Copies of this chain bind each other. A is one copy, B any other.
Amino acid sequence: MPIISPILSNPLADGRQSERAMVIRRGVQRLLREMGAHVLPELSLATGRRADLVALTRHGDIWIIEIKSSIEDFRVDRKWPDYRLHSDRFFFATHPEVPAEIFPEECGFILSDGYGAEILRDAPEHRLLPATRKALMLRIARAGAARLLAAELAGVSVPALEGESE
């Protein structure tokens, strides 16, 4: 594997995510942060399905980014159209060893090498219905608060950040 992972010992890998998926995720997180979007990993949707990354833009737009670490990983996934119903834009993200042409033209496409990432194809916009957006925003807000409280009760400091809500 020519990619040398900067996060070999990432403590967040919980068994569901492969090391390579974590490398892709890290690059995408950095890209989104640079774009001013805040991003929450592993969000359970109302369907019970778990989105790899959910991004919230400054304006409240919700994007879902699904990470595919191999051709096989993409091929076995029959569920991705569902993600379009739960986002304003939907992207696949992968790394340079996975052929870009296997991913559907009608989805956004992000290439990530772990240090950074680039949007190679923008995603078409399919605006969420107001009720869906409201429910999803509540899920994101509640998930974030729940994780932070669990961390705090476990003695881990996760302080507020300057400008975090701007």
Which residues of chain B are near A153, meaning CB under 8 Å?
29
8 A Cβ contacts from A26-73 to B: 29, 33, 38-44, 50, 56, 60
User: A12-B152, A140-B141, A141-B141 are known contacts. Are A147 and B134 too (CB-CB below 8 A)?
Assistant: no
Count the A residues whose beta carbon is within 8 Å of the partner chain — how many?
43
Identity of the chain B residue whose Cβ is nearest the Cβ of A40 in the assembled complex = B145
Which residues of chain B are near A139, meaning CB under 8 Å?
165
A144 to B56 Cα, complex, angstroms: 11
Scoring A residues 142 to 156 as 1 if CB is less than 8 Å from chain B, else 0, what string do you get? Answer: 111111111111011
Contact assessment for A148 and B40 in the assembled complex, using a CB-CB cutoff below 8 Å: yes
Contact assessment for B146 and A148 in the assembled complex, using a CB-CB cutoff below 8 Å: no
- Report which residue of A14, A139, A146, A149 has the largest number of chain B beta carbons within 10 angstroms of its beta carbon: A146
